[in-house]
Amino acid sequence: MTANELVELSVRALDDKRAENIVVLDVQGISLVADYFMICHGNSEKQVEAIAREVKNRAQENEYPVKRLEGLDQSRWVLIDLGDVIVHIFHKDDRMYYNLEKLWGDAPTLNIESMLT
């Protein structure tokens, strides 16, 4: 599975669990950690947990390994490391506080609308 296919799979999983304000940052050449950072939020800990489990399950169903999953116990900021793609799922309040979009402000964003049709 290519990084672009993994992004699309993850975007659909996020959308299926009603994640809000999904942003995909292309950090190729900016970060050594991954090619894409995905950022979204849920409005409650239960929703954040459901979103994270959906991304994890979809990756595993497609035989793509989840390298690391952190933060699920509190479900305020869950990080899912899929290798070339890192998914950040925040509780709405924590997303505004950490403001990762500003931190990675030099990175271009992908248009995800075509992935959702």
pLDDT tens track, the chain, 117 positions: 888 999 999 999 999 999 999 999 999 988 888 999 999 999 999 999 999 999 999 999 999 999 999 999 999 999 999 999 999 999 999 999 998 888 888 899 999 988 887
37's tokens: 């950072």
Say which residues have a Cβ less than 8 Å from residue 83's Cβ, sequence separation at least 6.
6, 34, 65, 67
pLDDT the model gives residue 31: 85
| Single pTM value for the model | 0.93
pLDDT given for residue 33 in this prediction? 87
Q: What's the Cα-to-Cα distance from 32 to each of 27, 67, 77, 80, 83, rounded to whole Å?
A: 8, 16, 21, 16, 11
**What structural domains and CATH numbers belong to the chain?**
3-109 (3.30.460.10)
Per-residue confidence (pLDDT) for residue 29, from 0 to 100:
86
